[in-house]
Amino acid sequence: MGDRRMTQPMIQMENAQLHYKIGNAISAMMGLPSTVKAVDGVTLTLNKGESVGLLGESGCGKTSMGRILVRLEEVTGGSARFDGQEIKDLSGDELRSFRSRSQMIFQNPFDAVNPRYSIRKTLEEPLANARIPRDEWHTRVIDALELVGLGDPKQFLERYPHQLSGGQLQRVVMARALILQPEFVVADEPVSMLDVSVRAGVLNVFRDVRDRLGLTAIYISHDLALVRYVCDRTIVMYLGRIMEDGPTEDIVHAPLHPYSQALVAAVPTPHVDQSHDPLPIGSGAPDPRNPPSGCVFRDRCPRAQTRCADEVPMPRPIGTRRVACHFAEE
């Protein structure tokens, strides 16, 4: 059934929204915006075994997307389904099973583990929650630590987080996410807090483990180069919406959406003295409380026309991709 497995959807989002209420009665009377649309109308299907990079600048809603998918947030509109089940409606045994099938690797390893917990205790917490028999704990903890490349795992068991380096700690965070053998993992910028010298090691571990366990994965990053290194498919987000979705190599070599083009142009080149072409977009970061009408990107877009202010461009298929731009073909 290997073939069928690959084409079954693991994650389905349909017009998913995550709107936060802000302000109060007085600010509402003054006509100030009352919601922040962290995720606004995202439609997305992720097949089993597929891994996709979520790319975008800070505040674009990529982390919120990940948080919806591990149920740290609940959609305020539309739907987000995990293996056919609406995530926000899960409860009881279904929720317990979901908690062991869907996991998250956090951005900041120094914050993601309880400083009062030894590494062994940190890793035993998910096992206790999943009601794994106690006599299996030790082997599973050791296995998980070995899986993420912490050689000689026994020496780490009784250590505390402050005794570990960032790279080691991020591997522990990964081990915690993987110890229940999940099917789906959200990695939220797992290397952005790490020293450049240890990034490659952690990234390779992530890639190896994902391939070995056949994980469905979402890799969240603002760094196109990292996404390209890890994922075959990339989704570019901007202000809570999908701008472009398609094979990573296609987007890197021939971005169709003007925002993707700007992202590709912004990747630094290794030549220090080489002058950079100015980015093709305006640099003013938008206010997420008050996005422009129509296309959210139009106030920074070099191609914007009157149509962009009136009509929200929906992602539409162009070749292997989906692009949310009225003028993507030009």
Partner 1 sequence: MPDTSVKATSSGIARIFEAIKLPVGDPFALAGLIIYALFIFTAIAAPLIAPYDPTEILYTEDYDLASDLLPGEEGHILGTTSLGRDIFSQIVWGARSALLVGFTAAFMVAFIGSVVGLLAGYFGGRVDAFLMRLADVAFGIPFLPFVIVISAFSEPSIWNTVIAMALVLWRDTGRVIRSQVLSLRSRGYVEAARVVGSSDLKIILRHITPNILPLSFLYGSIAIGWAILTEASISFLGFGDPDAISWGFMLQDAFASQALARQAYHWFIPPGLAIILVVSAGFFISRGYENLLFPKLGR
Contact pattern from residue 146 through residue 185 relative to partner 1, giving x for each residue in contact according to CB under 8 A and a dash for the rest: ---------------------------x--xx--x-----
Of 100, 168, 221, 261, the one binding partner 1 (CB under 8 A) is: 100
Phi-psi region of 104 (alpha: psi -120 to 50; beta: other; left: phi over 0): beta
Q: Residue 185's beta-bridge partner residues?
A: 103, 217
Q: How many chain residues touch partner 1 (CB under 8 A)?
A: 29
Q: What distance, in Å, lies between the first and last C-alpha atoms of the chain?
A: 42
Binder among 68, 70, 144, 308 for partner 1 (CB under 8 A): 70
Answer whether 230's CB lies under 8 Å from 268's CB. no
- CA dist 270 and 84 (Å) reads 45
Beta sheet of 321-323, edge-to-edge order = 102-105, 184-188, 216-221, 51-55, 233-238, 241-247, 321-323, 316-318
| Residues 236-265, mask of contacts with partner 1 (x by CB under 8 A) | ------------------------------
Q: What is the DSSP letter of 300?
A: G
User: Residues 106-135 vs partner 1: string with x where CB under 8 A?
Assistant: xxx--xxxxxxx-------xx--xx---x-
Q: Min. distance of Cβ 22 from partner 1 in angstroms?
A: 15
- Point out which span in 66-74, 252-260, 283-291, 300-308 binds partner 1 (CB under 8 A): 66-74
Nearer to partner 1, 172 or 242 (CB): 172
Dihedral, 204, 209, 215, 219 alpha carbons, nearest 10: -30
| Residue 143 binds to partner 1 (criterion: CB under 8 A) | no
For every residue of 52-86, DSSP letters joined together read: EEEE--TTSSHHHHHHHHTTSS--SEEEEEETTEE
Q: Site residues (CB under 8 A) for partner 1? A: 70-72, 95-96, 99-100, 102-104, 106-108, 111-117, 125-126, 129-130, 134, 173, 176-177, 180
